[in-house]
């Protein structure tokens, strides 16, 4: 069992990483016997894990209710989140309840926002079941739902009380979902840890095969990096913005194509390549390193070219609605070298469009 602490003073919390944690009641700290909780999951994961987790917690004396939501990015909406509020109110849950988010990024983000909002804030435990949510979205307190005009535009910073990562959950992931998570893993190497990027090149086959030792170390390293960044910049005023590498381009793809048509990691993978091509055109990143990123993404089973149906204007229109736009200026995360990146706000639209078109030749 591995434990990492996100250091935020009185709001610090543990990330516990191990195989088989859904069988370990002690992992669900600070939930105790006699307390109320609401398990939030989706229809797919309900069939896989809900009964196991429900039996585990009720056997310890927790009073557990459950709400089952539809599965998919297109259901990450205010209307679906209202189903959580309705269930909480129908079952008379008060401010002393705990929401347990059992699922991937959609469930984690939506349940986190519900926890931040219900009676002005209740306790939250994140139980991520996808690689993407285990290495990224469950840690750091970003919660949100989507709007038709923009991804994650309605939300709050709200930290969980704990994060419980059972690596055995990855065994039920379809290959496409596993690849989607690897995009966020590769992102950490590009922006924060060149040695980790090298390790990924050497160990990608083991990760794809879900080798227990390799996947456990990979998740731990990503969580360590994320925890360090969040502790230094919880509300994304500076350093935390680097974690958005590829996301401005990627969110444009997700919004334009329709939520769920492209998985988040697939869109971020293309966005990383577009960011690397932009940095190349600015003379701050080498073509050789761009090619290494492209090769690693391809080996992971991820796309490196955007949708053929998207025009230049489609990217710019959606990118200009991005949360990171300030005073009408795009702010892009761009690599400087493998393991280092910066935020730039002075990139012209001509360079961005040229970089997008460069990616059609990948």
- The 10s digit of each residue's pLDDT in 182-233 is 999 999 999 999 999 999 999 999 999 999 999 999 999 999 999 999 999 9
How far is the C-alpha of 65 from the C-alpha of 54, rounded, in Å? 9
Contact 351, 282 (CB under 8 A): yes
Active site includes 3?
A: no
Note the pTM of the prediction, 2 decimals: 0.93
Active site includes 184?
A: yes
* Dihedral, 87, 90, 95, 96 alpha carbons, nearest 10: -90
pLDDT at residue 328, as a whole number: 63
pLDDT at residue 193, as a whole number: 98
Active site includes 362?
A: no
Instruction: Give me the catalytic one of 93, 240, 324, 331.
Output: 240
Active site includes 142?
A: yes
Structure tokens at 316: 């710019």
Instruction: Give me the catalytic one of 73, 76, 152, 184.
Output: 184
Contact 41, 64 (CB under 8 A): no
Residues 6 or more apart in contact with residue 81 via CB below 8 angstroms: 110, 113, 114, 145
Instruction: Give me the catalytic one of 247, 256, 281, 331.
Output: 247
How far is the C-alpha of 3 from the C-alpha of 10, rounded, in Å? 18
Q: What is the mean pLDDT of residues 161-172?
A: 96
CATH of domain 175-361: 1.20.1090.10
Taking each helix axis from N to C terminus, what angle separates 264-281 and 287-299, rounded to the nearest 10 degrees? Answer: 170
First to last CA, the chain: 41
pLDDT of 13 above 90: yes
Instruction: Give me the catalytic one of 123, 221, 264, 281.
Output: 264
Quick one: the chain helix, strand, coil %, rounded to 5? 55, 20, 25
How far is the C-alpha of 265 from the C-alpha of 276, rounded, in Å? 16
Active site includes 10?
A: no
- Residue pLDDT, tens place only, 227-267: 999 999 999 888 999 999 999 999 999 999 999 999 999 99
Active site includes 76?
A: no
Active site includes 2?
A: no
Q: Quote the mean pLDDT of the chain.
A: 95
- Residue pLDDT, tens place only, 318-337: 998 876 665 567 889 999 99
For 127, half-sphere exposure in the C-beta direction (CA atoms, 13 angstrom radius) is: 29
Domain residue limits, the chain: 2-172, 175-361
In CATH terms, the fold of domain 2-172 is Rossmann fold (3.40.50)
């Amino acid at each position: 069992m591995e434990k990492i602490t996100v250091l935020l003073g009185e709001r610090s919390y543990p990330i516990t990483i191990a195989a088989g944690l859904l069988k370990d009641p002690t992992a669900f700290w600070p939930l105790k016997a006699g307390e109320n909780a609401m398990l939030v999951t989706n229809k797919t994961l309900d069939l896989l894990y809900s009964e196991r987790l429900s039996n585990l917690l009720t056997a310890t004396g927790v009073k557990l209710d459950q709400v089952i939501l539809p599965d998919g990015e297109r259901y990450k909406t205010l209307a679906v989140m209202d189903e959580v509020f309705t269930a909480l109110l129908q079952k008379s849950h008060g401010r002393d309840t705990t929401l347990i988010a059992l699922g991937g990024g959609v469930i984690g983000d939506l349940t986190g926002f519900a926890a931040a909002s219900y009676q002005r804030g209740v306790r939250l435990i994140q139980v991520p079941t996808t690689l993407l949510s285990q290495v990224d979205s469950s840690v750091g307190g970003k919660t949100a739902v989507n709007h038709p005009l923009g991804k994650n535009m309605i939300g709050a910073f709200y930290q969980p009380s704990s994060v419980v990562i059972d690596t055995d959950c990855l065994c039920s992931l379809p290959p496409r979902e596993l690849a989607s998570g690897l995009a966020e893993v590769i992102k950490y190497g590009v922006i924060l840890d060149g040695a980790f990027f090298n390790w990924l090149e050497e160990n990608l086959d083991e990760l794809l095969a879900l080798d227990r030792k390799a996947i456990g170390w990979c998740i731990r390293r990503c969580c360590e990096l994320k925890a360090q960044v969040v502790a230094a910049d919880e509300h994304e005023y500076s350093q935390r913005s680097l974690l958005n590498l590829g996301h401005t381009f990627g969110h444009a793809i997700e919004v334009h194509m329709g939520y769920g048509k492209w998985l988040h990691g697939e869109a971020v993978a293309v966005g990383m390549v577009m960011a690397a091509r932009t940095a190349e055109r600015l003379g701050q990143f080498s073509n050789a390193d761009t090619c290494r990123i492209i090769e690693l993404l391809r080996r992971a089973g991820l796309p490196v070219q955007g949708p053929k149906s998207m025009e230049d204007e489609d990217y710019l229109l959606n990118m200009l609605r991005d949360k990171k736009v300030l005073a009408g200026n795009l702010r892009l995360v761009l690599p400087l070298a493998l393991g280092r990146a910066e935020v730039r706000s002075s990139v012209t639209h001509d360079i961005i469009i040229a970089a997008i078109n460069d990616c059609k030749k990948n």
